[in-house]
Chains A and B, each alone.
Chain A
Amino acid sequence: MYIYPVLFGIFTGVLSRILMLRTDYRQYPTYLHGKIIHIALGFIASSLGAISVPALIKQEYTAITFLTIAASQFREVRNMERNTLSQLDQFELVPRGSTYIEGIAVAFESRNYLVILTSMATTLVFVWLGLLGGIITAIGTILLSRVLMAGGKIKDIVDIEYVEPRFEKEGLYVDNIYIMNIGLPKRQKEVLEYGMGFILKPKNFNARSTIANLGQRQAILHDVSTALGIYRDSGTPALVPLAKRDLDDGRVAIFILPQEKNIEKAIEIIGNTPTLENAIRMPTKRKKVEGGNES
């Protein structure tokens, strides 16, 4: 008698997994095989979620232990993603960095839990109120998953401004921030020809700590280099995109060497880089210790 609610729950779960699986400019997962793995795991997750509802209604409480198996299964997903991406990262011209990889791996794991939630809620309401209730819950939970999965963007926490990079003797500067020392005049010419500089000005004190994180800065460089291309090859270590920080006011200078020199597009891409969960710092949320200094 529970066959339709369960089937509907599984269907909704898989649908929500497919909707969360986007191939965008970050180029991951690009391949059919990668997609099949994640849809298959999404199917397993939604089946577990859907089946647990009739099991609980029938007072088979041991069914809940299924969910613990699911949890360990999805931790494995996280490891799989981490290992794959770390391996591939060695051969990227501009690596993603461990912080970004960890963020992606966590996202993949948590998406499976959202799938369980979706199918469980849908099946429950279907059993309780019928098909119409099931459909409404399905739409509701899918929308909720989208909201939960959409993290913050860099443009929410910083103002981005284009600044032409310049040389002071052999030192490369973006605005007043020192980037690196380039000795050969030929390289300096290339850098000025292809290089672009951007200043990220934090909007508040929390943002200052977040963009100071090296992983966050590497993520920005990777995203921009993926989207706009990169003027670089192995054996030209001087042509490297870098992000350096102004120690006085926490501004970060981004220096990139894109194939396509388009200021507006670059600003848009930098702005759309996700703020990595592992990089977010909130020093102002610190509870004031009794008798401590006010700050």
Chain B
Amino acid sequence: MTVEKAILAVLTTNPKKAPTGVALFHCDNQEEMETIGAKLEAILDGIAHSLTEEIMIIVKH
């Protein structure tokens, strides 16, 4: 199955601001967010985009 133009996962250090309804990863700090983001990018074949300092999304293009 291929998903196009969809948010595959959300990473956040501030759970209050994160959306619901998608796979959400709570991270303790920026550093953890970047490590998990890099791994997810490779696994999901998506691009890690940063929306704010607290929220990062993985999008398949």
Contact = CB atoms under 8 A, between A and B. Distances in A.
B61 A237 contact: yes
Contact of B50 (A170, A234, A236): A170
B56 to A, nearest CB: 5
Contacts, number: 43
Contacts of A203: none
Contact of B45 (A170, A181, A234): A234
Interface in B22-61: 34, 37-38, 41-42, 45-50, 56-57, 60-61
Contacts of A238: 41, 47-48
B37 A236 contact: no
Contact of B47 (A186, A234, A237): A237
Interface of A: 169-170, 180-187, 234-238
Contacts of B37: 183-184
A185 B31 CA distance: 10
Interface of B: 34, 37-38, 41-42, 45-50, 56-57, 60-61
A255 to B, nearest CB: 14
A169 B51 CA distance: 10
Contacts of A170: 49-50
A186 to B, nearest CB: 6
A171 to B, nearest CB: 9
Nearest to A237: B47
Nearest to B60: A237
Contact of A186 (B38, B56, B60, B61): B38
B14 to A, nearest CB: 16
Contacts of B45: 234-235, 237
A63 B50 CA distance: 69
A186 B37 CA distance: 11
Contacts of B47: 180-183, 237-238
A186 B42 contact: no
A239 to B, nearest CB: 9
A184 B46 CA distance: 12
B40 to A, nearest CB: 10
